[in-house]
Amino acid sequence: MLQNDETQTKICLIFGGDSGVGKAAALMLARTGSTVVIACRDMEGGGTARREIIAKTGNNSVSLIECDPSSQKSIRDCAGQFKKKYARLDALINNVANFDLSLSRPVLTEDGRELIFAMNYLGPFLLTNLLLDSLKNGGVSRVVNIVSRGLSLYPLLTIEFDNLNSERRYSPAHAYHHAKLALVMFTYELAARLRETSVTVNCVWVPNEKLGDDLQIRISPLKKWLYLIQARSDFSQMDMAELYLWLATAKDAGSLNGRCIDEKRRVVRTPKSSYDGDIRRRLWDVSLKLTGLEA
């Protein structure tokens, strides 16, 4: 097994690292001299982000792999390409997310899954599982899943096994928080399953940014109000990116495993259901089926 320590150059993959906080984190990781791989759907936008990061940091080890988070085939291709090029993975940051509040009915992906659940949860679940061997080869490796502080508004939220495709009810805000809860449960369950390895798994909950002009126009006053009461006040994208970086690489974050961390680096409580091992294991088994990993 390859050894990894603070002095070794890290190999980091950011799923959804071409814009927003993910891009800011890619920039910071590149500044540390890490090899940064950005998995993104938009290769043109990703290319612009990559050039900008290289120009600002002087680190040429920044590359892109095409990955459409709504397509399981694309995620499999991405994992295959990564493994062909790199012998190990030291940090995987699952930042990708769809928070399109303008959706009024469920949209199905090419795999027949509801889009928000597919992108925000099943995609990270699949990519992480496909890269587990690479993570184990890293010696000491980290998985960081990005969730939302919005979950604090839903302490009783649980996994709706009869509504995973939004067949029973749908709102994009509900679908988003439901998928983020699933990602929290995946974090805790994977951390438990990897306890005997040197891979740790944690999640970060991100507070909301202010609404862009586009969304201001498209969403209802109620949704706007719900969104704004969670709005971020004094935390910038760079602050959040710094938090990603800390969890993904810092020595003093190495003892954290199976935790959810807030913007002040405190361990926070997530909805009650996320601590129920039976629900987590059931979700794991269903997710294996939904992503074709069962075989």
Ligand X SMILES: NC(=O)c1ccc[n+]([C@@H]2O[C@H](COP(=O)([O-])OP(=O)(O)OC[C@H]3O[C@@H](n4cnc5c(N)ncnc54)[C@H](OP(=O)(O)O)[C@@H]3O)[C@@H](O)[C@H]2O)c1
The residues carrying an active-site annotation are: 176
Site membership for ligand X, residue 209 (CB under 6 A): yes
Query: Among residues 28, 135, 146, 248, which is the contact residue for ligand X, using CB under 6 A?
Result: 146
Contact stretch for ligand X (CB under 6 A) within 135-143, 203-211, 251-259, 263-271: 203-211
Residues 223-282 that bind ligand X (CB under 6 A): none
Query: Among residues 82, 86, 99, 186, which is the contact residue for ligand X, using CB under 6 A?
Result: 99
> What is the distance of C-alpha 161 from the center of its chain?
21
To which H or E segment does residue 294 belong?
A: none
Binding mask 19-58 for ligand X (x = CB under 6 A): xxxx-----------------xxx--x-------------
DSSP 66: E
CB 216 within 8 A of CB 177: no
Query: Among residues 16, 124, 172, 271, which is the contact residue for ligand X, using CB under 6 A?
Result: 16
Q: Angle of helix 172-193 relative to helix 277-290, nearest 10 degrees?
A: 100
Pick from 230, 239, 238: nearest CA to 211? 230
- With CB atoms as reference, the residue minimizing the distance to ligand X is 20
Site membership for ligand X, residue 106 (CB under 6 A): no
Burial class (CB in 10 A: 0-12, 13-18, 19+), 220: exposed
Burial class (CB in 10 A: 0-12, 13-18, 19+), 179: buried
Decide whether 140 or 188 has the Cβ nearer to ligand X: 188
81 token code pair: 């390409």
Contact stretch for ligand X (CB under 6 A) within 94-102, 132-140, 193-201, 246-254: 94-102
- Binding site residues, ligand X, CB under 6 A: 16, 18-22, 40-42, 45, 69, 95-100, 119, 146, 148, 206, 208-209
